[in-house]
Copies of this chain bind each other. A is one copy, B any other.
Amino acid sequence: MKKILDITFPLSANLTVWPNDPPVRMEAIREAGKGARSTISRLEMGSHSGTHLDAPSHFIEGGGTVDALDLDILIGECLAAEVEADAITAEVIDSLNIPDDVQRVIFKTRNSQRFTETGDFFRDYVGVTTSGARRLLEMGIKLVGTDYLSAAAYSDITQVHCALLDGGVVLLEMLNLKDIRPGRYELVCLPLKLAGADGSPCRAVLIEDAKKG
């Protein structure tokens, strides 16, 4: 029997976003029972709000857009790995002994305990460093997920995003991993099909007891 674990943060007006990114807004413009037969809302948000995916064009001029992300990468076997360290460096990744067949990895860090949906943004989150990005590319990893607004450490934002996105790695950010045990799952993360966009909020789930790869 499969069990679906939701690893997505709810999108709401108070959700913490990256500094200077647009806030999330939702407003009913017609309401059932209040002069209309149905309720419809206007949605506003940034392309990197909440749990989301980065497209190459987020950091690379003329790079691929979010509607073109490869669905074969967004759905498939995934390893959830726990990191105790302050940064996801090459050395830390090596210490995890990630098996050769792993193509998708999500890192659960202390961000998962520290982040609260409406709290202040903090810079000293645990993220992937330049050496970590290099190691992930060497390993042939196709998707990297983390539990904060950026997969890249704050000090290495541009280098890490450019290296991974240019290397064809999909970045899945702001996962809600607080209740996730390390191990193998089936990952499904689907962005909106936003034509030409640099990223998209997504729904991300882990499926337990899927066939092991």
Residues of A with Cβ closer than 8 Å to B? Answer: 4, 6, 8-12, 18, 20-22, 26, 28-30, 32-33, 37-48, 50-51, 57-61, 67, 71-72, 75, 157-158, 161, 188, 190-199, 201-203, 205, 207
Give the CA-CA distance A47 to B205 in the complex, in Å. Answer: 21
Chain B residues with CB under 8 Å of A193's CB are: 6, 8-11, 50-51, 203
Give the CA-CA distance A176 to B199 in the complex, in Å. Answer: 22
- Known interface pairs A43-B44, A190-B205, A203-B191. Does A26 touch B59 (Cβ–Cβ under 8 Å)? no
Give the CA-CA distance A208 to B20 in the complex, in Å. Answer: 42
Each complex incorporates copies of this chain amounting to: 2
Tell me if A194 and B11 are in contact (CB < 8 A).
yes
- Known interface pairs A4-B75, A37-B59, A43-B47. Does A12 touch B195 (Cβ–Cβ under 8 Å)? yes
Instruction: Say whether chain A's binding surface is mostly helix, strand, loop, or mixed.
Output: mixed
Give the CA-CA distance A28 to B58 in the complex, in Å. Answer: 10
Residue of B nearest to A198 (CB): B39
Tell me if A203 and B195 are in contact (CB < 8 A).
no
Knowing that A32-B59, A190-B203 are A-B contacts, what are 14 other residue pairs whose CB atoms are under 8 Å apart, sorted by A's residue number? A11-B194, A26-B47, A26-B196, A28-B198, A38-B161, A38-B198, A40-B58, A40-B199, A41-B199, A42-B45, A42-B46, A71-B205, A190-B202, A192-B203
Give the CA-CA distance A205 to B192 in the complex, in Å. Answer: 12
Give the CA-CA distance A6 to B66 in the complex, in Å. Answer: 14
